[in-house]
Structure 1
Amino acid sequence: MTRVAVLVGSLRTDSVNRQIAESLRAQAPADVQIDIVEGLGDVPFYNEDIDADAPPAAATSVREQVAAADRVLVVTPEYNATMPAVLNNAIDWLSRPYGAGALVGKPFGVLGVTPTPYGGKWAHEHARLSATIAGAVVVEDVTVSQTSIDVDVLNDAEVQGRLRGALETLVAYVPEPSAA
């Protein structure tokens, strides 16, 4: 069983990106468990002072959910040409303690939709960069940026196929052996 922790970049209840995450969970192969990480909106902005002694329960919960996964998938819109603050904050918490955070060594992918001509490409690039700095292993072939607002992404067979394909690529990813 491969466990995939999904971080949704939108807190809105009816977010299309949340619906995509739920759709992927419903369609996941039998040997893949999709866990949508809940509680991102409850995590305070990262502050080393509050992380030092006793991290807040919400941050600890997010860390534990991601640490328990084999893979991490971000499904996010783009806000003002970057990733939403809630996603950036989650990656900040997941990057600590430095060198031993919950993202270290985890295969990581990003996908999502946003009704702009750029389809979220900057949010996806920024999330991949931040995750790389946090120690994740970014799987470059796991990217779906939907640009057309004229497409019903939840019911379009081609878009759904690309989303499932991205998930399958992430699940199948085998890290390169490290040189010793």
Structure 2
Amino acid sequence: MAQTRVLALVGSLRAAAVTRQLAETAVAVSPDEVEVTVYEGLADVPFYNEDLDGETVPAAAVALRDAAADSDAFLLVTPEYNGTLSAVLKNAIDWLSRPYGVGALSGKPVAIVGQSPSKNAGKWALEDATKVVGIAGGKVVEGGSLTVGETFGKFGEAHAKEHAETAEQIAAVVTALADAKAAVVSA
């Protein structure tokens, strides 16, 4: 199997966020044939504005689009904020959905992980992210969705990758992404 390059977009800007830890877990548990890169720089991407998306696209948006274009698949990790996905992640999807029909997400496999300290486990964020990705042209892969709930009690002071069940689940999501990319290549 050829190397699969996965770009992980983290929907929380906080350095110690559980969301970031889940993306870092994907890096740690990915198989040898998969390279997961956690994108740095979403905080610098301005809110999508069609007036900015012309001849002089902001450098941070260009960098995001370039990183996305160089990727085979995407791992989106979002906290659940007020019952939906984070604005940071939604904004990244908005930039990657343009130009309409041929944006960097178009036709590429996408896995989504939602998380929350509640028992709801980020299910609403996952549902909304799935909808947005589909409209943006990405292909949410079967077996590529995961919700992680009750994160405060589950992880405590430990890093998410130290929680064996969560690490296994994240590994399965990454494998589903690699399999989906392989299926696209062989089709």
Band the TM-score falls in, shorter-chain normalisation? over 0.9
Q: Tell me what 2:24 maps to.
A: 22
| 8 A Cα contact 2:29 2:167, kept in partner | no
More relative contact order, 1 or 2 (CA 8 Å, 6+ apart): 2
**Following TM superposition, by how much is the alpha carbon of 1:155 offset from its aligned partner in structure 2, in angstroms?**
2.1
In structure 2, list runs of 5 or more residues that go unmatched. Answer: none
**Following TM superposition, by how much is the alpha carbon of 1:122 offset from its aligned partner in structure 2, in angstroms?**
1.0
| 8 A Cα contact 1:38 1:62, kept in partner | no
In the alignment, structure 1 residue 65 sits paired with structure 2 residue 56: no
**Following TM superposition, by how much is the alpha carbon of 1:112 offset from its aligned partner in structure 2, in angstroms?**
3.5
Q: What is the CA RMSD across the aligned residues, in angstroms?
A: 1.6
Q: Tell me what 1:155 maps to.
A: 162
**Following TM superposition, by how much is the alpha carbon of 1:47 offset from its aligned partner in structure 2, in angstroms?**
0.5
Amino acid corresponding to residue 179 of structure 2 in structure 1:
A
| 8 A Cα contact 1:37 1:66, kept in partner | no
Amino acid corresponding to residue 89 of structure 1 in structure 2:
N
**Following TM superposition, by how much is the alpha carbon of 1:177 offset from its aligned partner in structure 2, in angstroms?**
8.7
TM-score (norm 2): 0.90
Q: Tell me what 2:123 maps to.
A: 121
| 8 A Cα contact 1:108 1:137, kept in partner | yes
Q: Tell me what 1:33 maps to.
A: 35
Please list, as runs of the form range in 1=range in 2, the aligned pairs for 1:95-174 lying within 5 A after superposition. Answer: 95-149=97-151, 150-152=153-155, 153-173=160-180, 174=183
TM-score (norm 1): 0.93
Deviations 1:124-180 (A, max 9, x none): 1111111111111111321111122421243221121111111111111124998xx
| 8 A Cα contact 2:25 2:170, kept in partner | no
Q: 1:132 to 1:176 in 2, by over 3 A?
A: farther
Alignment coverage as a number of residue pairs: 178
Q: Which protein is richer in helix relative to its size? A: 2
| 8 A Cα contact 1:143 1:166, kept in partner | yes
Deviations 1:43-73 (A, max 9, x none): 1110011111211000010111111100011
- Residue among 6, 10, 31 paired with 1:8: 10
Q: What SS does structure 1 have at the residue aligned with 2:52?
A: helix
Q: What SS does structure 1 have at the residue aligned with 2:162?
A: coil
